[in-house]
């Protein structure tokens, strides 16, 4: 486990972007697992800056996102496909056909989960998976549970997750209650994992996740077993 303490959010974003850009430079056709939420925005912004300077090339990169809300179309401004298009994909030279996000409008969610697992396998697996962490320890939308969910699945969002995401919607009632998410097995099979955590409200859960018992009650705790985990954090 490689722990990197950042001096502030900008430093966190730069350090995280360094890890991702190094992966792309070392393997131009790599598969990046990407995350959404407020924490990665600065990381994506830094990557866009470096792309504009000619320091990084995304033309051969393929991506798979962790999750998507059930019931939101790709053009809904709260969908994760929309988030990725706005914050990264539309600003660099990645081919849109090489970017993948679970389909929140799939007619059959179970079938969509199977399709997504097969897609990841066909891509050869994930070279680097970027993760944020929820205040309850969720990674992706793998919420606290009695067991670790292995593969892509449908999840009922925890009340604390719904409340945390409510700031992005006009009312809490508009926040989707279900999502499609990669499972723990998909995340743990990534060759490298990059976990980023920002703000004082993440300090306690990071301590639990990285130094407490490994338990599905704290989904991120499973990362203690990953052979190549980098954590970039700032609690100030």
Q: CA nearest 192: which of 44, 22, 14? A: 22
Task: Please state, for a pLDDT cut of 90, what percent of the chain lies above it.
Answer: 89
Identify the band that residue 157 occupies on the pLDDT scale cut at 50, 70 and 90.
confident
Identify each DSSP E strand in 22-120 by its residue range: 31-34, 62-65, 67-69, 99-100
Whether the predicted pLDDT of 168 surpasses 90: no
**DSSP for residue 97:** G
Distance, in Å, from the CA atom of 27 to the CA atom of 30, rounded to the nearest integer, reads 5
pLDDT reported for residue 205: 98
Judge contact between 33 and 130, C-beta under 8 A. yes
- 34 closest CA partner among 69, 3, 76, 63: 63
The Cα 178–Cα 112 span in angstroms is 14
Does 59 have pLDDT greater than 90? yes
CATH number of the domain where residue 152 is located: 3.40.50.1360
Q: Does residue 62 surpass a pLDDT of 90? A: yes
Report pLDDT digits (tens) over 189-198. Answer: 999 999 999 9
Task: Print the domain residue range for 24.
Answer: 2-234
- The overall average pLDDT reported for the chain is 96
Residues annotated catalytic, as ranges = 67, 136, 138, 143
| Model confidence, pTM | 0.95
Q: In total, how many domains does the chain have?
A: 1
The arithmetic mean of pLDDT across residues 11-37, rounded, is 98
């Amino acid at each position: 486990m490689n722990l990197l303490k950042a001096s502030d959010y900008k430093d966190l974003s730069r350090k995280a972007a360094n890890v991702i850009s190094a992966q792309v430079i070392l393997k131009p056709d790599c598969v990046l697992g990407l995350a959404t939420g407020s924490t990665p925005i600065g990381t994506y912004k830094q990557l866009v800056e470096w792309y504009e300077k000619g320091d990084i090339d995304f033309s051969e990169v393929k991506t798979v996102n962790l999750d998507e809300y059930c019931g939101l179309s790709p053009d809904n401004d709260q969908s994760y496909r929309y988030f990725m298009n706005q914050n990264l994909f539309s600003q660099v030279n990645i081919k849109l056909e090489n970017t993948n996000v679970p389909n929140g409008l799939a007619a059959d969610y179970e079938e969509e989960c199977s399709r997504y697992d097969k897609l990841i396998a066909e891509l050869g697996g994930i070279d680097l998976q970027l993760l944020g962490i929820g205040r309850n320890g969720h990674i992706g939308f793998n919420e606290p549970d009695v067991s670790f969910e292995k593969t892509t699945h449908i999840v009922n969002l925890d009340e604390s997750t719904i409340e945390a995401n409510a700031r992005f919607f006009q009312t809490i009632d508009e926040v989707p209650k279900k999502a499609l998410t990669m499972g723990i097995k998909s995340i743990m099979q990534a060759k490298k994992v990059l976990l980023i955590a920002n703000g004082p409200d993440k300090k306690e859960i990071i301590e639990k996740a990285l130094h407490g018992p490994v338990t599905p009650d704290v989904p991120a705790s499973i990362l203690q077993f990953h052979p190549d985990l980098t954590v970039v954090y700032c609690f100030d």
